[in-house]
Structure 1
Amino acid sequence: MIKNLQNIQPISFSKLIHAKHIAIPSEHGAWIFLFSPLLIGLAIGGLSKGSFPLMLAMLSAFLIRQPVTMFVKIISGRRPKNDLYASLIWFLNYGVVLLISLVILILQKSIFILFLAVPAIPVFIWHLWLVSKRAERRQIWIEIAASGVLALAAPAAYWVGLQRYDSIGWLLWGLSWLQVAGTILYAYLRLNQRQLKEKPTLRELIKMSRDSFLFNTALFAGVLILAFAGWVPTFLPLAFLIQPLEVIWGTYHPAISVAPKKIGIRQLIISSLFTIVFIITWLLV
């Protein structure tokens, strides 16, 4: 490690501040994994004096992983050593905001929210270990696990809004996590379709989309059962119908040679639509 950090050349302050590749997560699609559950929790639980510091805490915790990840890449020899200063600066920036936000939440007697951060620790360590081994790309299980951690924003925002614990928060977490897991499966389907040289037969396309279709359809069916049982709002299944319909569309329109950015933008729209419909149908009760 010491050898890797020798002979670091100083860089200007302006370059430190504008080092976007260190300050902003490179996985642009991950933003919706945070904001969808967070917005759901805020909308359903309502706003309180703790909502703003909670949002700052969630956002800074989400962002701080980027400079930490870059630091691991630097000491692993994957990034230039001159990125070290920028990594440390952004780590400190996000760390200070996170610490202040948590102190405010504790002073407002929302200390129970801190326990939701516990699952993030092993998942983050797992991610950093993969980064150190140059094996973090296309790891579906770590992405699903990480999305489960981010989905904890839903119960956190819900409980802070209510200013008390309520078991409904866990239901919001489970529904948010399963929805994101479904989108991850679909994203992998689309990325696999990109590698096709020509459009295969319909049977082959259906076979490729089987896992994504079955998961998202089963999730829709499960929420439908919950609605019939009266455990969730009557029209909530409409939100969970969006992704299965998208999977069907994606099956008949394979993403052959489609740019990953275009795939990501479309999924961002679908996930945003899900979030809006989820909130509206829940509040119709």
Structure 2
Amino acid sequence: MNISPPLPKEHGSWAMLIVPLLLGLFVAPAWHGRALILLTAALGFFLTRYPLVVLVKTRKRPTADRAYLWRWAAIYGVITVLCGGWLVLMHQLVWLAVIGLFGAGLLLFNLWLVSRRQELSLPGELTGIAGLALGAPMAYYAASGQLDSTAALLGLINFLYFGGTVFYIKLKVRQQPRLPAPERVGERLVKAKACLAYQTAALTLLVALAVLRWTPLFLPLAFIPVTVKMVYGAWHWQDKKSLSLVRLGLAEIAHAVVFAGLVSVIFVS
């Protein structure tokens, strides 16, 4: 009997879980111990998705240990509901229920995409990121008891940042290794147009919000390192021989840490 818990194997997804939660806690104007309960609920929700995804993928496979997967999905789900319910009922954080229901809706949509083998499509990737980005306003709310424009902004910038990683990974893993490297720099940039267009749009939005004073003035600077990475990645062509998913994943985690550090400093200052 397998008793070890099923855990997501993608390191990037763990970064997408942890960074929004930590930013929400760090930027919150006050801190309450109930935030630890929120972290437990968020972890439970994150872990619930993995066995459910495997269940959907293996639904026609008779050798799949479905009882094991259902058991752990139930364990993770109960942890999520108990912790979330405690925060809503005992601490009157009623908006957590609303945000949680929205997150559950995103999860169901994502599972539907998995059933159609479209989990790696752009909608599939972005809905997953949107769900994890909700961790920032939820952590902010649980820590401070406030749900304001700053909480919403934290959710937005986490979505914008990690959304860009979807385009970048697709460029470096699925696109560049399959094509010969163009000789001209301009041609290489054109091949990366989706990635660069997304990042340009994200930066433009952030600059506009900063000009309107809806965000800290220097917040767009938090996106400069990842923008430089994308431009360099578009120019420096990735071939099959040098492709290393581990190295690429570690680089993404390092950039996420830099992003989190910059956002924290900008908000605190």
Normalising by structure 1, what TM-score? 0.85
Q: CA offsets, 1:85-118, max 9 Å, x none? A: 3212312321232122123202111122111022
Q: Give the Cα separation in 1 of the matches to 2:205 and 2:181.
A: 33
CA distance in 2 between counterparts of 1:164 and 1:281 reads 20
Partner of 1:211: 194
Mapping for residues 176-187 of structure 1, pairs under 5 Å = 176-187=158-169
The answer to whether the 8 A contact 1:76-1:132 is kept is no
Q: 2:130 aligns with which of 148, 172, 187?
A: 148
Cα displacement string for residues 18-38 of structure 1 (whole angstroms, at most 9, x for unaligned residues): 35xxx1124332122222211
1:15-94 → structure 2 map (5 Å cutoff): 16-18=2-4, 23-45=6-28, 46-77=30-61, 80-81=63-64, 83-94=65-76
Aligned length in residues: 264
Rounded to whole Å, the distance in 1 between the matches of 2:56 and 2:198 is 34
Residue 223 of structure 1 deviates from its aligned partner by 1.9
TM-align CA RMSD: 2.0
Aligned residue for 1:204, secondary structure, equals helix
State the alpha-carbon separation in 2 of the partners of residues 90 and 125 from structure 1: 18
Structure 1 residue ranges (4+ consecutive) displaced by more than 6 angstroms after TM superposition: none
1:91-170 pair list within 5 angstroms: 91-106=73-88, 107-133=90-116, 135-170=117-152
Tell me whether 44-53 or 114-123 shows the greater mean CA deviation.
114-123
Structure 2 residue matching 1:165: 3-state secondary structure: coil
Identity of aligned residues (%): 26
Q: Which runs of 5+ in 2 are unaligned?
A: none
Q: TM-score, normalised by structure 2?
A: 0.90
Counterpart of 2:136, as a letter, is A
CA contact (8 A) 1:123 1:142 kept: no
- State the distance in 1 between where 2:49 and 2:3 align: 17
**CA distances 1:39-78 after superposition (whole Å, capped 9, x unpaired):** 111110142122001001111001101111222233222x
Query: Please, which runs of 5 or more residues in structure 1 have no aligned partner?
Result: 1-11
Conserved 8 A contact 2:164-2:198: yes
Q: 1:194 Cα shift?
A: 4.5
SS at match of 1:49: coil
The offset of 1:80, in angstroms, is: 2.4
Q: Which has the larger radius of gyration?
A: 1
One-letter identity of the residue aligned with 1:17: I
